[in-house]
Structure 1
Amino acid sequence: MADEPKFLLGRGETLQRDSRYRGGPNDSKPPYEWQDQAPRINRMLADQSEYFDSLPDDACPDDNVVSKITLHPQYYSRSQFPTDLLREADLRLVGSMPAQVKPAEGRGSKSESGVPSTVLFVAGRRSAFRQLTKVAKTTAELSALANDLLKVEKVGPMTAADRIKGHIGPKKELLEVVLHHDAELDLGWEEDFFDFAKSKGVQLKTSQNYQSRGLLFLPAIANEEAVKKLASYSFVRAIRPMPKLRPLKKPSVMRTQVAKPLVSLPNEPAIDTSFRVAVFDGGLPGDHPFEQWVTAIEPPGKANIGAPVDEYVKHGMAVTSALLFGSVHPGLQPRPYCGVDHFRVLGDETSDHQLYPVLLYIDQILGQSTYEFATLSIGPVEIVGDDVTAWTTMLDDHFQQGQVLGTIAVGNDGEEAWPGNRIQVPSDCVNALAVGASDSNEEGWARASYSCIGPGRAPGVVKPDLVQFGGIAADKFKFVYPGPHIAEACGTSFATPAVMRIATALRAHFGNDISTLGIRTLLVHNADPAKNPREEVGWGLANDDLSALTICPDGSVRVMYQGHLDPSKVVRLEVPLPSGDLDGNVEIKATFCYLCQTDPHTPGDYTRAGLGITFRPHQEKFPKPQPGKKIDPDFPASKSFFESVGKKNEQDLRRDAFKWDTTRHAARSLRGSSLNRPVFDIHYQAREPGSAVSPSGAQKLPYALVVTVTARKHPDLYDKVLRAYPTLAAIRPRTRLPVVVRT
């Protein structure tokens, strides 16, 4: 039918074909000559060995100590990892951290504040470090060891002072101890560490530990004096004050003179009863009016959550209402899109800021369930820094393994001075959407002043991912409360389930034709930043109009690609366009999202997957041939799209092109005559800590891509694309799309 809506086209992955990998030039000429580097490195190695020999034996399990090796910025990339140095010295990588480095020569030496690089934490026996000190003095200039030592800007021991983070006072307080710990290699010294801590006056809560890849997190009680002693233990990575629970404000009931209820609720079940959203929050009161759609789940006694707390329960009530109905208006509320399982994870045993029981209980729930959607409006008062927390790594693991679409509130300290206004843990998850608050959903909107800002940690620079209305003093977010009545408050706590509500609307109306990763990609793709800074609103305001998300207006076509990528392989994804030149300007907007494993002990290299994306707009235009080289017909000329083509070094690729970020989004306007079967070449680059080569056993990478092509002088573009690409098919809703009404 001519008037039938032009719905989003699916099966874009049928336009995929294999391609070849072609590397670029290598600028790895060493910044130092060996005759200049050798005496400098030898001096640092000798000083380090002297320090290690001064340590008490009980602080060095099995004689092991930890060194910090700072790489020259020129050797920032994975392929430049000093594998030969670690192998010949019998050392192992136990972690890393990002650092700004201003070297004496080479890349970054002329930058006043330095440029990004990496500090490696490497462990080995003291005897191994002594031997390295001896061998380095006599190694040949062109040896493998010398070549790797040329990559080192600085080397030195990890000291007790390096391990103490934040202010710890003279009185005993709740702390978090983080250890470099491999679950297989380091079992032998666990009990020795517990005894060591006890002997120093530190009380460890060993039953509440959380183990992640490369790190062991433990709650502890100690004072400043005891912490200084504990920090001498070589495998301690960090000791810091335990973060507190973010303050949860209790929404207030609106005052009204109207005798009858301000709101009424529908009698129908959810639009789609085949899936449910897991909400982790403060619980629900016994008289909540959501029984038809919501199951309130109380924690077992062994979870150490405790009894309900009134302000937490009222917060949980508001979060659940926001997920079911959005910000409510007087009258009959819309039918919820899906059911909700509300897990109470806060209580009177967590109100003293002991958050590990909360973390471990959520970990248990996610580990024993198959939810595809989960939302959190709670977390610790802890701004994102260089280290990855237990909260973040736990959620990233579950969201990646279960392909869960998670939404996480960024926090409400946006009015604090920098860096106190930066996004809060665990909204730095790379496998979830971090959500901030806007002051409205209308034209001229801006970030709500209380909403925390980015950037996130690289990878994961763009945070928040999205914003949505969270209420302001003059126009608060409104909820259904028992009665039913209307209550109101402001916060990112409510913007977050409001974004989840849009996600569930897409699933309810389009079913499994759009995966959870596809939903995430659609939300980012259609977000509008308006004129707001990226660090304040991320990719922009989430669009809550399902028609705008899924229906193509005249002169445009939107295509979704969903699939998996093989490690180290290159695939070519065609952007569908009709044959022949297009008149005028053509805009191509593209959004990639993927899920991947993470490594919390190497935060600068946190994600195990990156995408090298090359845009080739015209299949018959080629770069100028280099002297002595023929034109390769498989590689038409490339053009910048995700800001990666033409960048000179790894720092540029990571900072500007988000090389290792799980979301990539950009739009480019080109002349129609410059386009001929444009393609994206996608190179899935896998990595793992401590290796300079791509791991052979890397997982397939689930991805989603949404591309929108707009050619305003071609109102029939959608129909032409469908005729030219018969494998594409419209993704049609199972029920009529709701109409968004603005008031």
Structure 2
Amino acid sequence: MEAKLLPNYIAPSYYPEALLGFIGAVPVGSRADTGTLRTSSKVKQSGTRRLILAVDDAALDRLEELVDTHGSGRSARQAFEQIRRLEEFASPALSTVLRSDLGDDTTGDESSVWEAVLHPRAVRSGEPVPVDDDALERWITLVESRGGSVHTEFLRQVGGLTFMPIRASLTEAPELARFNPLRVLRPMPAIRPRPRFGLRSGSRVIPPATHGALADVTTVAVFDGGVHHSDDSGLFPIPVLDLTPEVADADDLDHGTGVTGAVLYGLLAAGGQAQQPPLPVESFRVMPPPYDAGDLDGYWILDRIKETLAEGKHKLVNLSLGPTLAVEDDMEPNRWTAELDQLAWERDIVFVVAAGNDGNQHPETGLHRVQVPADMANAVSVGACDAPAPDRPWARAPYSSMGPGRPGNRIQPLGVQFGGVDDRMFDVLRADGSFLEASGTSFSAPVVTHALADLATRLPRVNSSVLRAFAAHFAERHRAYKARQDELGFGRLPLSFADALDCGPDQVHVLFVDQIARGDILGYQLPLPRSFSSEAKMSITLAYASPVEPTQPTEYTSASLELTLRPNRNMFRFSPSQGSSEKARIADLTSAEARALLTSGWTSGQEPVTKTLTGSASLNESDLRDSGKWETLRHHRVSFAAGEVDDARLEVRYVARRAGALDGSPTEVPFAIIVSVSDPAATGTLYDDVAAQFAALRPVQRVAGRVRLRGGRQNSWY
């Protein structure tokens, strides 16, 4: 059954736990929906969710009795009060489960491959339990009785959900969709088509003067079409592993070679010399897969990616392929997104994912949105722009897929990089050093992978959160940044982060790397010296990895790191005595005004006042989510008036949720924060003043050692 919440009650603290417990309903998931949000000042349509509940007949009887009697006894009355939070309680609609348009011109007699997703059957110790064997057998029997077949060899279970490909005709799909444990039945998507290549004349690239990678802090994995062999070019002296038994396809090899070349060398120019690759790269050939397009190829490729990454060797992964499936407003769980997000969390892997090339589709179709798995919460998704840095003006390439993305990472793509356009194509490297030309996010993504690989060699401590934070923080904002965030994400991503590690006399960049336990509050002093009395500008980027719940698409990320900025250690809020008509004031705790207020019976707050980072002071849950409360990547910019700052500090608090309710179980989340401070007056002393006052800070120098991953409670400043 499904219980639709009113939008006023979507916060975890409003979860109707008493009601569900009283009637004996077990929450096994949720769906995205919309409803009418009513507050004292406005009425508007807003996002909400449907709770998916496993119930028996007795639970329905108790619910009916509760509605009729309004509850007798304390627990019953408490349960009845929570009914006010529901708009409806009903069986799932057929149109919700079946995701296919039964057009008049379709006979539906031909069988095709569908993806069936089944609900968990229960929850134990807070974890969803997949559907049992009895229900699976009933499902298989139903499919076969309607003339279909089930690919049991590809049954996969993720986060309590069961994903299973089946073959059935379109005319039988509505009957199959009535199977009650079924969450969704949708056509199986094909792997995205390759960009088309054109020939290009021009002088060849000279291989690097030095063989091998600059450092070995980790190894980069590229899953694509393989690499053309060339005995004498010296450009691709890397392992190429064939994971597919199929004979290599020439176009797939062109694509894989170009993608791998961009990972190794970044953006190349004809006639130049390639620089030494920053990290070792391994190419895994998964194209063509041993299945027909639109059949089981997506499942097979994802299995190969998982098997390879389970070895733990690769911490940076380039994916310039994926299903032809745009993220939808209903945000139904997807196996690619869920499994790779879980891998990213468990193994601290950075996936750099091409956003897709359907951005020129009509918005009403929804096909212009970023494509799976670029909707991951823990990844770097890359769109395409029409010019590389530092060329201006620049804009989104017309084909580049757009946001918003999935909750947990709504700003999608994270950013854009040059991917070629009709009048300025991308130079696609070939094995012999010559070029083809093409355009697509397939090529913008590996350019970013190369930049992040180079960054990993320059920092003394690297994890996935650090790399994601750098990407967002140092992206070049477009002049129409706010209006075009769904097109450009955080902006145009750097070709190299080397310049970001150098500070001028009027700027400071500081990186914090840490991890936080649930319920903790950590504080960090910000790099503004006490002697600094001018105006200042500050930008703050937070990135963290989060566990995910595929059964809860609107509550997809389980962790929220809340940021609080306290700019002045002495500025406090003072409240008048009870019954007074006077309004609260903010005053310097050391001032005569503060002493007079305290003498008159006023009380001061326990902590210094805060400066808003979200852009909205509203406490409405919908507004908080829109401003990024549960997003794993956040960027804020603030300005300070002269004299406003004194021992500024940034606080981080970790709140967890599970199944949409607040969670108290102990967990730790790694995170990275980058803070940049600049002096608009250009007095030329900011960097020196910070270095003099904060002796713990150390300039970043290139490190060519083993990567330090999660662990310990060490707090690092750079």
TM category, shorter: 0.7 to 0.9
After the TM superposition, which residues 69-84 of structure 1 pair with which residues of structure 2 at under 5 Å, given as runs?
Answer: 69-84=3-18
Q: Which residue is equivalent to 2:276?
A: 335
Secondary structure of residue in 1 paired with 2:672: strand
Number of the residue aligned with 1:52: none
How much has 1:548 moved relative to structure 2? 2.2
* 2:211 aligned counterpart, secondary structure: coil
Q: Give 1:468's aligned residue.
A: 417
Matches within 5 A, 1:221-240: 221-240=167-186
Give the counterpart of 1:379 among 322, 333, 343. 322
Per the TM alignment, residue 109 of structure 1 is displaced from its structure 2 partner at its CA by 7.4
- Deviation of 1:293 after TM superposition, in Å, equals 4.1
Q: How many residues align?
A: 653
**Counterpart in the other structure of 1:390:** 335
Is 1:608 aligned to residue 553 of structure 2?
Answer: no
Q: 1:702 aligns with which of 670, 687, 690?
A: 670
Equivalents in 2 of 1:107, 1:204: separation in Å? Answer: 53
SS of 2:573 mapped into structure 1: coil
Matches within 5 A, 1:305-316: 306-316=246-256
Return the alpha-carbon distance in structure 2 between the equivalents of residues 107 and 211 of structure 1. Answer: 44
Query: Would the alpha carbon gap of residues 159 and 535 (structure 1) be closer, same or farther in structure 2, given more than 3 Å must change?
Result: closer
Match of 2:150 in 1: 204
Aligned partner of 1:500 among 437, 449, 452? 449
| 1:181 matched to 2:120 | yes
Identity of aligned residues (%): 26
Q: Does 1:134 align with 2:80?
A: no
In the other structure, the counterpart of 2:387 is 440
Deviations 1:159-178 (A, max 9, x none): 33321012363321111111
What do the CA deviations read for 1:76-108 (whole angstroms, capped 9, x no partner)?
Answer: 1011111111111111111112211026x6579
The residue identity in structure 2 corresponding to 1:488 is E
1:338 maps to a residue whose letter is L
Shift of 1:734: 4.2
1:399 Cα deviation after fit: 0.7
Instruction: Quote the residue 1:740 is aligned against.
Output: none
Question: Contact 1:642–1:665 at 8 Å: present in 2 too?
Answer: no
Distance apart, 1:208 and its partner CA: 0.7
- Work out the CA distance in 2 between the residues paired with 1:73 and 1:273: 50
> Structure 1 residue 652 and structure 2 residue 623: aligned?
yes
1-side partners of 2:348 and 2:131: how far apart?
30
Aligned to 2:221, the other structure's residue is in SS state: strand
Q: Report SS of the residue matched to 2:308.
A: helix
Offset, 1:632: 4.5
Structure 1 partner of 2:612: 640
Contact 2:420 2:440 in 1 (8 A): yes
2:583 is matched with none
SS of match in other structure, 1:502:
helix
Shift in alpha-carbon separation, 1:378–1:290, aligned structure 2, 3 A: farther
- Structure 1 runs of 4+ aligned residues shifted over 6 Å read none
Contact 2:161 2:551 in 1 (8 A): yes
Give the drift of 1:384: 0.4
SS at match of 1:719: helix
Q: What is the Cα deviation at residue 133 of structure 1?
A: 1.3
Tell me, yes or no, if structure 1 residue 170 matches structure 2 residue 118: no
Cα distance in 2 for partners of 1:531, 1:201 equals 57
Give the structure 2 partner of residue 347 of structure 1.
288
Q: Distance in 2 between matches of 1:73 and 1:640?
A: 24
Distance in 2 between residues matched to 1:563 and 1:171, nearest whole Å:
55
| Partner in structure 2 of residue 597 of structure 1 | 547
- For residues 236 and 618 of structure 2, the distance between their equivalents in structure 1, rounded to whole angstroms, comes to 55
**AA paired with 2:620?**
N
Mean Cα deviation higher: 237-246 or 288-297 = 288-297
What is the CA–CA distance in structure 1 between the aligned matches of 2:213 and 2:625, rounded to whole Å? 43
Computed over aligned residues only, the root mean square deviation of the Cα atoms, in angstroms, reads 2.1
Any residues of structure 2 matched to 1:337-736 within 5 Å, and which? 337-353=278-294, 354=296, 355-385=298-328, 386-418=331-363, 419-441=366-388, 442-510=391-459, 512-532=460-480, 533-583=484-534, 585-625=535-575, 627-628=577-578, 631-632=603-604, 634-644=606-616, 646-655=617-626, 657-689=627-659, 691=661, 693-697=662-666, 699-711=667-679, 712-734=681-703
CA distance in 1: counterparts of 2:59 and 2:686, whole angstroms: 67
2:259 aligned with 1:319: yes
User: Which amino acid in the other structure matches residue 194 of structure 1?
Assistant: I
Give, in angstroms, the shift of residue 321 of structure 1.
0.8
CA contact (8 A) 1:572 1:679 kept: yes
- Give the structure 1 partner of residue 21 of structure 2: 87
Q: Name the structure 2 match of 1:124.
A: 55
1:294 is the counterpart of 2:238: yes
Summarize deviations over 1:232-257 as a string: whole Å, max 9, x none: 1111000011111111024333135x
Deviations 1:610-652 (A, max 9, x none): 12222211111122415439644541111212325x2130010
Q: Give TM-score scaled by structure 2 length.
A: 0.87
Alignment partner of 2:458: what SS?
helix
Structure-1 separation of matches of 2:576 and 2:658 = 35
Instruction: Show CA shifts across 1:646-702 (max 9, x none).
Output: 2130010001x21000001011111131111112222211111053x32223x2010
**Are 1:350 and 1:358, in contact at CA under 8 Å, matched by a contact in 2?**
no
The C-alpha deviation readout for 1:298-337, integer Å capped at 9, x for no partner, is: 1165xxxx33222222110110011112222113211111
2:43 paired residue among 110, 133, 138: 110
Superposition TM-score, scaled by structure 1 size: 0.84
Contact 1:251 1:318 in 2 (8 A): no
Matching residue of 1:35:
none
Structure with the bigger RCO (C-alpha within 8 Å, sep 6+) is 1
Secondary structure of 1:137 counterpart:
helix
How many angstroms apart in 2 are the aligned matches of 1:321 and 1:459? Answer: 32
Letter in 2 for 1:271: L
Name the residue aligned to 1:216: 162
Instruction: Report if aligned partners of 2:220, 2:316 keep a CA contact under 8 Å in 1.
Output: yes
Q: Is there any run of 5+ residues in structure 1 with no aligned partner, and where?
A: 1-66, 736-743
| CA separation of 1:652 and 1:475: change in aligned 2, threshold 3 A | same
C-alpha change, 1:197 and 1:397, in structure 2 (3 Å) is same
The equivalent of 2:597 in structure 1 is none
Cα distance between partner residues in 2 of 1:559 and 1:293 = 37
Q: Verify: 1:160 aligned to 2:94, yes or no.
A: yes
Specify the code of the residue in structure 2 equivalent to 1:524: A
Are residues 548 and 611 of structure 1, via their aligned partners in 2, closer, same or farther at CA, if it must alter by over 3 Å? Answer: same
The code of the aligned residue for 2:558 comes to: R
